[in-house]
Structure formats: structure tokens, C-alpha cells
Amino acid sequence: MDRKLSVLILSCMLFLSKNLLAANYEAYKIFLQGVFDLKAGRINAGIKNYEKVISLDENALTAYKDLIYLYWQSGNCDRAFQLAGKVNNFDSNNPQTTNFLATFYFVANKPDIAEKLLLLAEHIGQDAIAYNHLGDTYVALEKNKEAWSAYSLSYNFKQDKNVKKKLNIVQSKIQQEDLYKQMLLRSESNYGETLSFKTGYKAKLSSNLFSKKFYISFTYAKGKSIRIDFPTTFVIGGMSLTITNGIASILPKAAEEEIPQELSDTIAQLYKVFNGNFYKQFSDAKVTKNGKHLTYSTDNAELTLNMDTALIEKFSQDNTVVKIVEYENLFVSKIPAKIKFVFSGLNIKGTLEATKITLIADTTEQ
């Protein structure tokens, strides 16, 4: 075989497949012929050769992608969608593939499938540029609420002034009631992205009768549990409080009587927040706007959000008020770094200030 042709085929092999070791040499010769067919305008012959390629090598990603558009352009939409589904199944963890498929589904006038791909895919969640482009696409489709969500996510990850300008423009086009719900969803999404982490909080409690300073260890396992370890200076013998799937447990059991109900309720609400599980509680709330702040009020609770970031600034329920004064970035997560709280029923107020915040593996045992 001619040396130049051999080099060209090898180059195609490297370009075509995700895994060279799994590559089928015969498949790439056929792929090369398909490329020549397409350049010569022999579309049907090119499609036929590409079909042979994917039958010989299931990882021939480039052949799949080319076939999807070839079939779409030739009017065989069913086959195009079938192949797109296959690509999504075997290469769904590749951000480039996700972008390719999302673009295809937008072209094919199926934007809902493209939400599903871009907005719900964790690996694309850190890509501010992708969400910016997604917002542009929604604007072109005159879907302002969806565009607002995409621009918001882009702005969350990178505070780009141009994105903020786009966000403000589409925000002005959304009805007030819809905007309030979108903002609540955006906030819930923010906390739903919180990664597993561990930190310590320097705590201070005070009332008319006492003042206490102590250190607590705080561990959050994404979507699983929260654990707080209290020292002996807080309760004799020390104790740990764990909330798993919304159910609290305290060790040792004898320490249960030492924990104020207001504190237990606050920690339970904190668990809901970190797991992005508070939209339902406030979706039908009365909303008031004050500058850049939105306050959602129900019969016994209030939630205040910052409209620029959709982060929680204040939460109150019954006799408890919690204010998050500062956040600290941890990759895509926003971790409360300084918290003030008041337990009016107990006439107690306090502060929590985070020390070093460390990312941990989701499989870490607590």
C-alpha cells in the first residue's frame, strides 16, 4: 500500500474512534472511502460506507456524527434520531458529544431534548460558555424563560458582564409570577450542585445568662447526609448529629435531651437546602420584592433570595432566623462561610464562621 495512503488511514483511525486499541483497520479504510464519496458528491455511497463503518466499529464516533446529519439532510429523520440515541448511550459522558447532540436536536426543532442534555448533564454543569450559547439558542426560539435559566447558570459559574446583560434583557420579558418561580428554581439548582465537603465552624452562642465559644465539625455528603460533631464544651461527653434522607439521629442517645428543638429544626432545614429540596415548600408563597431581594412568605416560614445570584440570604421559620452573611466558592459550589442565627424562643443568638473548606469524595464514610 502507498505510504501516504497508510498514513492517511492511520490519521483517520486516530480521528474517528475514541479508542485506537479497539479500532478496526478495515472499518477505517471504508471510512476513508466514505469521505472520498462525500467529497465527490456521492451522498448515498458515502452513507452506505459509513453504515458499514459503524457495523464494524461501534466506537466510530465521527462516522455516527456524520451519519446523523447526512440522514437529517436527506430527509431520513427516523434514522438520524435513532443514531443520535445510540451516540448518547455510548458517549454520554463526553462534553463535546453532549454539545454536538444538543445542537443537532435544536436544528431538528426538538429543544426540549436539548434541555434535558445540557441542563441536566453534570459534566456540562461547569461550562459557562455552553450555557451562554444555550441561552442564545432559546432567545432565537423566543423561549425567554428557558433562556433566562441558561444565562443564569452561565452567570453562576462565571460572572461575565455580557451574560448579565443578556440575563437582564430576557428577565424584563418574563411575567413577574413566572420570574419569581424561575428564581426559586435557580436557587434550588444552585444548592443542588453543592459538592461533598468537610469544614469546621467556629461557633459562638450567647444569651442573657451565658456566652459560649466552641468548634464543630461539619461534613456534607452530596445527596446523602449531613453530620455535625459537637465538642464536650457544648454538651458533656460530646455528641454527633446526623441527618440521612431527612431523618435525624443523635449519638449518644442520652444527648438528645441536650439539643434545643429550634437547633434540630434548623439543621433539618439546612439539609433540605443543601440537597436542593425547598422549591415545593415556597412555590406557592407570597412574594415581595425589595431592591435586589425577593422574599417568599408562607404561613410559618420566609425565604429571602439575592436576585443577582439566587443565593439564600435569610431563612426564618417559627422562632428561628438564619442569615447567611458570606459564601465561599468551592468549584461549582457556594458554601455558607459566615452564618448568623437567632432562636427567639430560647433568647439565644449566635454566629458560625467556617475555617478551611475541603472537597471530599462522594463515597467518603462519615
Rounded CA separation 355/192 (Å): 22
ω before 252 within 30° of 0 (cis)? yes
* Dist. CA 164–CA 188, nearest whole Å: 20
In this prediction, residue 55 carries a pLDDT of: 85
The mean per-residue pLDDT over the stretch 18-35 comes to 66
Q: What is the pLDDT of residue 116?
A: 67
pTM for the complete prediction? 0.64
Q: What is the mean pLDDT of residues 327-351?
A: 88
Q: What is the pLDDT of residues 165-206, one digit of tens each?
A: 999 999 999 999 889 988 988 888 788 778 889 999 999 989
Q: Give the residue carrying C-alpha cell 420584592.
A: 289
**Domain 1-91, CATH homologous superfamily name and number:** Tetratricopeptide repeat domain (1.25.40.10)
CA dihedral of residues 32, 36, 42, 46 (deg, nearest 10) = 10
Contacts with 5 (C-beta within 8 Å, 6 or more apart), sequence order: none
pLDDT value at residue 216 = 93
pLDDT in tens, 223-248: 788 899 989 887 788 888 888 877 77
Angle, vertex CA 361, rays to CA 356 and CA 362, nearest 5: 115
Q: Does domain 197-359 have CATH number 2.40.33.10?
A: no
Q: Which three cell numbers stand for residue 85?
A: 440515541
